[in-house]
Amino acid sequence: MFGLPSKKRGTLSGFTLLEVSLAVLVVGILFSVAVPDLRRCLGRCRLQTAADQLAGDIRETSQLALNEESSLYFIKFYPSPSNAYYVKKSANPGPLVVKAVSLPSGVVLENTNFSNHELRFSAKGTPTAGGTVTLRDGVSGSFKYVIVAAVTGRVRVSDQPPKNVEDI
């Protein structure tokens, strides 16, 4: 009537219920395979971020001690289940908390080899002892090691633990 084509039986295009069901099934299978891998990837990213932040906080605390020429600064580590560390400055009646850090969900502060889990700094900004902080991702089980050199105070993040005392 107005120049529109007439609809004929069998010329309508679309998807059948079977085609839609198969497409949803394929997408569901791909999604179920991708989600666990995505969780592992996000866990490793959280672990790397936490290790980098810890290394930065160690460097910052070293710089505070150097700037103030003070041997009162230290970092107290609280391994699992607390999974936290505090940057502190010794004072009377007790230490002042300069910064408190809780590790992200899924990141575990596994262990440190510092005496009493404390990393102390001299008035020159160097650590009084070298050591390693071990972080673990609870999802993927991968580790990161924040290694502090005793003499130079160099801080680095590694996927491998130090092999011997000279590496620290």
Tokens read off for 141: 């089980």
Which of the four pLDDT bands, split at 50, 70 and 90, describes residue 94?
confident
Q: 9-66 pLDDT, tens per residue?
A: 656 678 888 888 988 888 888 777 766 677 788 889 999 999 999 999 999 999 999 9
User: What Rg do the C-alpha atoms of the chain give, in angstroms?
Assistant: 27
Percent of the chain with pLDDT over 90: 62
User: What predicted TM-score, i.e. pTM, was given to this entire model?
Assistant: 0.78
Percent of the chain with pLDDT over 70: 88
99 and 115 in contact (C-beta within 8 Å)? no
**DSSP states of 55-93 as a string?**
HHHHHHHHHHHHHHT-S-EEEEEETTTT-EEEEEE--SS
